[in-house]
Amino acid sequence: MKIKEITENKSRFIDLLLIGDEEESMINKYLEESTLFILYDNDILISVCAVVIKDSETIEIKNLATYPQYQNRGYASALMDIVSNKYRKDFKYLILGTGENPKTLDFYKKRGFKEYKIVKNFFTENYSHPIYENGVQLRDMIYLKKHLQ
């Protein structure tokens, strides 16, 4: 595996970012301020993680996506570990928001994240179309937090 840190020309990864966030206008709200971490395996693009600095103590994962044919192979976990280790010495918290999908929530909770905030109707009020995961329409944004230090 190889990880590249991308700070310029980030829109060239839009197809992969759209797997983690279905609406390009939402991605555009954070893309410029994000640092992208791109994971390759055997020179094949596999995963992306978009990270923004929220404040002096906190970084946020805005997007974590893996091409479907490579999912459930540990790539996203590896990418999250790399991001956590990179920022551990300078930041206290890593946060992220996701939908109320039990499978996704379990993925993050197994990696040390804990729920700390809910934004009611985030998906229904901020997206132009309904967002579904595993056949369930997403409504609320669940925020999770992990201590890095």
pLDDT tens-digit profile of 70-102?
999 999 999 999 999 999 999 999 999 999 888
Contact 94, 101 (CB under 8 A): no
Best CA proximity match to 39, nearest among 79, 87, 12 = 79
Q: How far is the CA of 33 from the CAs of 55, 71, 102, 112, in angstroms?
A: 13, 26, 29, 26
In tens, the pLDDT along 26-35 reads 999 999 999 9
What are the structural domain ranges in the chain?
A: 2-147
Amino acid at 56: S
Cα separation, 9 vs 19, whole angstroms: 19
- SS3 labels along 63-114: EEEECHHHCCCCHHHHHHHHHHHHHCCCCCEEEEEECCCHHHHHHHHCCCCE
Spans in the chain with pLDDT lower than 50? none
Q: How far apart are CA 10 and CA 56, in angstroms?
A: 24
Residue 57 confidence (pLDDT)? 97
Please name the amino acid found at residue 50: A
- Superfamily of domain 2-147, CATH level 4: Gcn5-related N-acetyltransferase (GNAT) (3.40.630.30)
